[in-house]
Amino acid sequence: MDITLSEEPARLEIENIRVDYNSVPALQEVSFQIPHGARVAVVGPNGAGKSTLFKALVGLLPLHSGQIFIHGLPLGHHQDCVAYVPQRGEVDWHFPVSVTDVVMMGRFGQMGWIQAPARLDREIVQTSMRQMGIEDLANHSISDLSGGQQQRVFLARALAQQPHIILMDEPFTGVDTTTQEATMHLLDHLRQQKVTVLISTHDLTLAAARFDSILLLNKRLLAYGSPEEVLTTEHLTQAFGSHMLKLVDGSVLVDECCPPVDDPSLNGVAP
């Protein structure tokens, strides 16, 4: 059994959104459109609003102004249409649940919180775990896993949701090679399924090599287009300022030494 993630790939439209933290704009005047099945890297310095954007796209943060449309309808009209894989640092990994419990959470939108899983739900969960190589960890507590294994559990939960759009917040940070490879295989699978994928990353080389488009943020949208159009010295200087160093051979280094500060208001989120 393979999982069909999307019968109708989603067109995502963002219209002039603003998101605030304590009345201070974290994102403002951001507008863009993402076509069906695209693979987009969201890049920018720490605190640029990458995580803020993702949380707004799943309704975890309210919009101060602007609108978000999926399939031409406002956000919230499509049940479980968008799956979100948060940064590992935002999850309470001591929450007492098994791997199967976490992946089954991806089915709650279809079956409801109090309804027992049906046979189809269990089959989808098993297939999702198998695709991410964690089937043998099904009964393990989430707190007993390595960082890479935990990341693959959350990717399996996103698969089980069968979404039209998947958002992955820094999925390559602090994980092992096995998890990085599993994530890239997943991206190839999602492309075949015509699922729209947005991934935030600090790896500009990866963004340029493996993504159709790049969205460059620093509170505002600075550039959006092909890697060649976006990753210019001018745009990177706008985004990273003094943290960017241009080398003699024309390559660019970006200093990302500081811890993420995209969203100081949400910490210790349970799985």
| pLDDT for residue 240 is more than 60 | yes
Give, as one character, the DSSP assignment of residue 76: T
Q: Which of 207, 189, 186, 187 is nearest to 252 (CA)?
A: 207
Beta bridge partners of 180: none
Residue 217 CB partners (closer than 8 Å, separation 6+)? 27, 30, 42, 43, 44, 48, 49, 50, 53, 239
Buried b (16+ CB within 10 A) or exposed e, 159-190: bbbbbbbbbbbbbbbebeeebeebbeebbeeb
Averaged pLDDT, 201-223: 93
User: What's CA 174's distance to the chain center, in Å?
Assistant: 15
| pLDDT for residue 6 is more than 50 | no
Greatest Cα pair distance, the chain, in angstroms, is 62
Q: 65-70 and 12-21 as β-strands: parallel, antiparallel, unpaired?
A: antiparallel
Angle, vertex CA 145, rays to CA 133 and CA 267, nearest 5: 115
Q: Which of 196, 227, 224, 212 is nearest to 57 (CA)?
A: 196
pLDDT of residue 157: 94
pLDDT of residue 7: 46
* Domains of the chain and any CATH numbers: 12-254 (3.40.50.300)
Beta bridge partners of 203: none
pLDDT of residue 255: 54
Q: Which of 41-50, 106-115, 197-206, 255-264 has the lowest mean pLDDT?
A: 255-264
pLDDT of residue 93: 74
Query: What 3-state DSSP class applies to 165?
Result: strand
pLDDT of residue 62: 93
The pLDDT-based confidence of 185 (bands split at 50, 70, 90) is confident
| pLDDT for residue 257 is more than 60 | no
The residue ranges of DSSP E strands in 177-261, in sequence order, are 196-200, 213-218, 220-225, 244-246, 252-254
Residue 209 or 250, more confident? 209
Averaged pLDDT, 210-216: 95
Residues 186-200 have pLDDT tens digits of 888 888 888 999 999
| pLDDT for residue 269 is more than 50 | no
Angle, vertex CA 113, rays to CA 107 and CA 114, nearest 5: 125
Residue 225 contacts residue 15 (beta carbons within 8 Å) = no
Q: Which of 33-47, 134-148, 248-262 has the lowest mean pLDDT?
A: 248-262
